[in-house]
Copies of this chain bind each other. A is one copy, B any other.
Amino acid sequence: MMPEAPEDINAYCHQLADRAKAAGRSLAVTSGHKRTAALQAVARAITERAENIQQENALDLEAGEQAGLSAALLDRLKLDTKRIEAMAQSVRQIAAQPDPIGQVIDGYVRPNGLRIEKQRVPIGAVLIIFESRPNVTSDAAALCIKSGNAVILRGGKEAIHSNTAIAACVRDGLEQVSLDPDTVQLVQTTDREAVSQLLKMEGKIDLAIPRGGESLIRAVVEQAHIPVIKHYTGNCHVYVDAAADDKMALDICINAKTQRPGVCNAAETILFHKDAAQRGLLKRVCEALAAQQVEIRGDERTREQFPAAKPATQEDWGAEYLDKIVAIGVVDSLDKAVEHINRYGSKHTDAIVTTRVDAAERFVEGIDSANVMVNCSTRFSDGGQYGLGAEIGISTDKLHARGPMGAADLTTYKWVVRGSGQIRQ
């Protein structure tokens, strides 16, 4: 059983952190074979207990309806048989990925005969704070087990019953192969004070990963004494250069905005070089977007070409709509586009459409974002699309991990130096 919902938040948080640290230390010396077996047992437990997970999910849905959650939020929360099987399948896929632990990243022999190696090792104990779908519970737990880390999961209160049922499957899977069930702990209180306390557990918890809205992330950053990797908003751009292929530009703009508008790598702003705008490309893109019920908010030059656009305000340039809305602007040069993107973007994913090599290279060099795309849709910025396997999220930070984060990004390294009695002169 997981520790009970607490009376004394401080004591409870210390208990969570102590257990995570101990579980992390013992997991660090476990074979990859055993970690894989644990994941297979977790997947089995999820499949076998699908009915129980659905019953618990029904409690969350009922409470959500009473609390007046929107239909979209209720849909995100809902777990049916198909979704539960997809969760189990995702855990199986993570089990099948290559093991990052023990990988030698670098290795060489020094003139004095010392053999030096950088070896991938687990980080230790990770705290993941999330607001979204209950499947994050099994995905995040599986990626942490894969990479040899203990994890403390803090999900949203609207999904507490679902998350608890899923976490119980994970802990059962761990126990079935005699691994410490405290490798995965779900915080059993929705009191915000618990997060504040956990973020101060230096020496016990090694990393915090917040996934959610701006206010959540800001609160985490302000309170944390432990390292944080932020998975922030995706205000992604497509820049259509003067020298763009019109058909390619049209396809990429439409795909980046409309293929799945509610995700972080969908485009929110499209910028056109003034020449591309003037030759009618802007108008064609706007018409195609409007035909797909996308609301267009344009600057003055956009509205000259496409008068049906609403006027864009200053806020539009910084917005992550996650919806069928797009901001469109016209710039005088590639450099102005780079300036605009570095100023208003969220350093997530930005694309250029161009036929010119020099323009592509200047864009790649100038844009200060985790992912820079040339002649393809921003929607490709994704761990699966990059071939990394399941991802813990997309880091908009620069330290440790940037862009899509897979199991290998949940590791650190250790310098191992082997000698034969060398001493320093």
Cβ B377 vs Cβ A423 within 8 A: yes
Residues in B with CB closer than 8 Å to A259 are 423-424
A368-B28, A412-B402 in contact; A419/B221 too (CB < 8 A)?
no
**Distance between Cα atoms of A417 and B353 in the complex (Å):** 12
Interface 9-mer from A44-52, A158-166, A176-184, A247-255: A247-255
Q: Chain A: interface secondary structure?
A: mixed
Cβ proximity bits A274-305 to B, threshold 8 Å, 1 near / 0 not? 00000000000000000000000000000000
A369-B414, A386-B116, A416-B374 in contact; A398/B206 too (CB < 8 A)?
yes
Q: Does A66 contact B (CB under 8 A)?
A: no
Residues in B with CB closer than 8 Å to A342 are 25
Q: Which of B206, B386, B424 has a CB less than 8 Å from the CB of A379?
A: B424
Cβ B387 vs Cβ A421 within 8 A: no
Most chain B beta carbons < 10 A, residue from A110, A124, A416: A416
**Distance between Cα atoms of A169 and B267 in the complex (Å):** 46
Interface 9-mer from A129-137, A185-193, A222-230, A319-327: A222-230
**Distance between Cα atoms of A368 and B415 in the complex (Å):** 11
Residues in B with CB closer than 8 Å to A420 are 375-376
**Distance between Cα atoms of A258 and B372 in the complex (Å):** 51
Most chain B beta carbons < 10 A, residue from A114, A202, A229, A404: A114
Q: Does A123 contact B (CB under 8 A)?
A: yes
Q: Which of B222, B398, B422 has a CB less than 8 Å from the CB of A380?
A: B422
Residues in B with CB closer than 8 Å to A248 are 421
Q: Which residue of B lies closest to A421 (CB)?
A: B248
Cβ A417 vs Cβ B228 within 8 A: no
Size of chain A's interface in residues, with CB distance under 8 A?
69
A374-B418, A399-B400, A400-B400 in contact; A202/B221 too (CB < 8 A)?
yes
Question: A223 to chain B: closest CB distance in Å?
Answer: 10
Cβ B370 vs Cβ A416 within 8 A: no
**Distance between Cα atoms of A222 and B415 in the complex (Å):** 28
Q: Does A306 contact B (CB under 8 A)?
A: no
Question: A216 to chain B: closest CB distance in Å?
Answer: 15
Cβ B423 vs Cβ A374 within 8 A: no
Q: Does A385 contact B (CB under 8 A)?
A: yes
Q: Does A373 contact B (CB under 8 A)?
A: yes
Q: Does A381 contact B (CB under 8 A)?
A: yes
Question: A392 to chain B: closest CB distance in Å?
Answer: 14
Q: Which of B110, B228, B260 has a CB less than 8 Å from the CB of A387?
A: B110
Question: A379 to chain B: closest CB distance in Å?
Answer: 4
Q: Does A245 contact B (CB under 8 A)?
A: yes
Residues in B with CB closer than 8 Å to A168 are none
Residues in B with CB closer than 8 Å to A399 are 123, 206-207, 227, 229, 399-400, 412
Question: A230 to chain B: closest CB distance in Å?
Answer: 9
Cβ B116 vs Cβ A417 within 8 A: no
Residues in B with CB closer than 8 Å to A207 are 398-399
**Distance between Cα atoms of A222 and B386 in the complex (Å):** 36
Cβ B422 vs Cβ A376 within 8 A: yes
Q: Does A366 contact B (CB under 8 A)?
A: yes
Q: Can you report 27 residue pairs joining A to B where beta carbons are below 8 Å apart?
A: A25-B342, A110-B387, A124-B368, A207-B398, A207-B399, A221-B225, A227-B227, A227-B228, A227-B397, A229-B399, A245-B421, A259-B423, A360-B418, A364-B416, A372-B414, A372-B415, A373-B418, A374-B417, A374-B418, A375-B419, A375-B420, A377-B422, A377-B423, A379-B423, A379-B424, A380-B417, A380-B422
The 3 A-B residue pairs with the shortest CB-CB distance, nearest first, are A376-B419, A255-B423, A379-B424
Beyond A251-B423, A374-B419, 12 additional contacts (C-beta under 8 Å) are A28-B365, A29-B365, A110-B386, A202-B221, A255-B424, A364-B414, A372-B416, A375-B418, A379-B423, A380-B424, A381-B417, A403-B414
